[in-house]
Amino acid sequence: QVQLVESGGGLVQAGGSLRLSCAASGRTFGRYLMGWFRQAPGKEREFVAATYWNGGGTYYTDSVKGRFTISGDNAKNTVELLMNSLKPEDTAVYYCAADEASNIVTWPPRMKYWGQGTQVTVSS
């Protein structure tokens, strides 16, 4: 089992920045895919970004490319999402998620472990 706890959400004006953090505990050894998803009111949850904990690429949905940066630190068991140039349409609850790399067979990935979510609100 892996437990995930997000932090860093809040209210920001359009054009501003926020950094989300996710701390993982439990069974954190091995090669994991760590990701961020978001769910806006009235919409389905969508993939935002992902990275492999022990090296590998970074992946983004088109709408955040060039604005968001995901980074993982295996030694600290954390993954962060730096969000720049935020837009009102980025408003959503953001979820940290994880799964063992060997379980990733679809894309966007279907993750096994989820955090409780953190609210990000971008005002215009």
Angle at the Cα of 103 (from 101 to 109), degrees rounded to 5?
80
Q: Distance (Å, rounded) from C-alpha 89 to C-alpha 28? A: 33
What is the C-alpha to C-alpha distance for residues 51 and 57, in angstroms, rounded to an integer? 6
Residue 54 has pLDDT above 80, yes or no: no
Q: Is the pLDDT of residue 56 over 90?
A: no
pLDDT of 52 strictly over 80: yes
- Report the pLDDT value the prediction gives residue 61, as an integer from 0 to 100: 97
Whole-number Å distance between alpha carbons of 83 and 44:
21
pLDDT for 28 equals 73
Q: What is the DSSP letter of 119?
A: E
For the cut 90, the answer to whether the pLDDT of residue 74 exceeds it is: no
Q: What proportion of the chain, given as a percentage, has pLDDT over 90?
A: 78
**Confidence at residue 86, expressed as pLDDT on a 0 to 100 scale:** 98
Asked if the model's pLDDT at residue 31 lies above 90, the reply is no
Give buried/exposed letters for 7-17 (b at 16+ CB in 10 A, else e).
Answer: ebbeebeeeee
Rounded to whole angstroms, the Cα distance separating 83 from 70 reads: 9
Indicate left, alpha or beta for 52 from its phi (over 0: left) and psi (-120 to 50: alpha): beta
